[in-house]
Amino acid sequence: MGSLAALVVAVSTALVAPAAAASADIPGRDEIAKSPNMHHLANIPKQGPLAPESAYGSDWAFKGKYAYGGNYEGFTVYDISRPAKPKVVAVVHCPGSQNDVSIAGNLLFLSTDSSRSDDSCQSTAKPATDKSAWEGIKIFDISNPAAPAYVKAVETKCGSHTNTMVPGKRGTAYIYVSSYNPDSTYPDCQPPHDLISIIKVPLKKPAAAALISEPVLFPDGGNPGDNLPYPEGTRATSGCHDLTAYPDKDLMAGACMGDGVLFDISNPENPRTIHSVRDDKNFAFWHSATFNNRANKVVFTDELGGGSAATCNATIGMQKGANAIYDIVGKGKKRKLEFRSYYKIPRANTDTENCVAHNGSLIPVKGKDIMVQAWYQGGISVWDFTDSRKPKEIGWFERGPLYDDKLVLAGSWSAYYYNGYIYSNDIQKGLDVIDIRDRRTDKGKRVWLSELNAQTQPDYFD
């Protein structure tokens, strides 16, 4: 979510007037509502230059006792050693939407998906039509979490909307860069852009990080799209929005605008397509993906309206803007994705609340497939898809609308489970810490990680 949201907020709110939600249970403005098993432990508002309404909170990465929260103006480092009393350790001002983050060793990778005057943290906006403008990946040394140090930048075509860390051998990491929205007027972002960018990083010599390949994932051009108006249309594929790797299984799932894709990444420098699927009836924009722990299912999300529209209402219904659950059937090169069901939060929202499926992660309960997920102003949903044909919600947390009279981008961007707790990066409200206390999820508290990038899934029970 980023440049697309800017487009959609301009058109969807002006052209579409969804019917008002008809639920007496909708919380009042900024009021917290939740299921009894969700315990809100803490909130820390956005800080300093990362506090304005236009400075959107974005993605998370975790290492040890620290959480690193992206923001369109930089990132914040939190000490979460005491989840009920988190502390701000550092605020790094480094503008460049959307500033998604991932971590490998003592390095943090920051995605820049807005055209900038240069690759520094002092850059200013510059038109993408200018050949000298810059977008791509910035690398920071976080060996001292209180003082992250800028190391290096690598430019990539069409910038970096999101990034995915894939561990390599002999002290290396690969950063898969997802980007999209090419334009013939952009010198560094030309159509058809059916590719991703791969950066190889020597972890002990990050200044030597370099772009090593730009594999074309859609030699046939991908989904051509249908050019239908919101909320009916499916976007054409011109790159990927998000990639989720499962290195222990040599697999990756790609959410690539008009296509959902399963990849083989046994050779991390040359990902290979195994199978791709489309849903031109109900999916507008394939946004992100999450494997279950056994890697025989994938949950794909659809970011209908770019995250900037009110889609959790009766007008839109329960299939558009939902998750789609696919089983992975077959073996090896013959594996295929087979659709099983949709899942959407069962609560109505007002017409001033942007709400659609967004970023989440597994809660590690052996033998079960349980996920926590952000839904923007729809809040946070914990849901069980062990039966991929009958998913069900088991916990939730939300705030009432940020405003009663206008729709402003707000709500939970990313909600991830890390070492026993849920951490939400709220676009406007900052860090929220939630403890789910439920017999169906309590076993997840026994699983401890030293690092988590939600787009680099671990095998929790190997």
Q: How confident is the model at residue 227 (pLDDT cuts 50, 70, 90)?
A: confident
Instruction: Enter the tokens of residue 144.
Output: 């001292």
Is residue 459 included in any domain, yes or no?
no
Work out the pLDDT band at 9, boundaries 50, 70, 90.
very low
Candidate from 15-19, 63-67, 259-263, 295-299 with smallest mean pLDDT = 15-19
Looking at the domain assignment, is residue 460 inside a domain? no
> Is 12 part of any domain?
yes
Look at residue 25 in the predicted model and tell me its pLDDT.
76
Q: How confident is the model at residue 20 (pLDDT cuts 50, 70, 90)?
A: very low
Instruction: Supply the pLDDT for residue 203.
Output: 97
Check: CB of residue 76 under 8 Å from CB of residue 66.
no
Q: Tell me, what's the pLDDT at 403?
A: 96
Task: Give 16's pLDDT tier (boundaries 50, 70, 90).
Answer: very low
| Band of residue 8 on the pLDDT scale cut at 50, 70, 90 | very low
Its domain, for residue 278, covers 3-452
Residue 18, pLDDT score = 34
Q: What is the CATH number of the domain that holds 245?
A: 2.130.10.10
461 domain-assigned:
no
Distance in angstroms (rounded) separating the CA atoms of residues 162 and 102: 9
Confidence check: pLDDT of 1 > 70 = no
Q: Name the domain count of the chain.
A: 1
Q: What whole-number percentage of the chain has pLDDT above 90?
A: 92
pLDDT of 13: 33
- Mean residue pLDDT of the chain comes to 94
178 pairs with which residues across the strands? 162
Confidence (pLDDT) at 79: 98
- Residue 234 neighbours by CB distance under 10 Å: 24
The total of other beta-carbon atoms located within 10 Å of residue 6's CB is: 14
pLDDT band at 19 (very low <50, low <70, confident <90, very high): very low
The per-residue pLDDT for 462 is: 82
Is residue 10 a part of any domain in this protein? yes
Span of 228-232, 237-241, 294-298, 334-338 with lowest mean pLDDT: 228-232
**pTM confidence score:** 0.94
Region 338-364: what's the mean pLDDT? Answer: 97
User: pLDDT tens digits, residue range 159-188?
Assistant: 999 999 999 998 999 999 999 999 999 999
pLDDT band at residue 35, thresholds of 50, 70 and 90? very high
220: in domain: yes
pLDDT at 139 over 50: yes
Residue 441 lies in a domain: yes
Position 259 pLDDT exceeds 60: yes
Quick one: pLDDT at residue 4? 42
pLDDT at 297: 98
> What is the percent of the chain with per-residue pLDDT over 70, rounded to a whole number?
95
pLDDT of 354 > 70? The answer is yes
Burial of residue 179 (CB within 10 Å: 0-12, 13-18, 19+) is buried
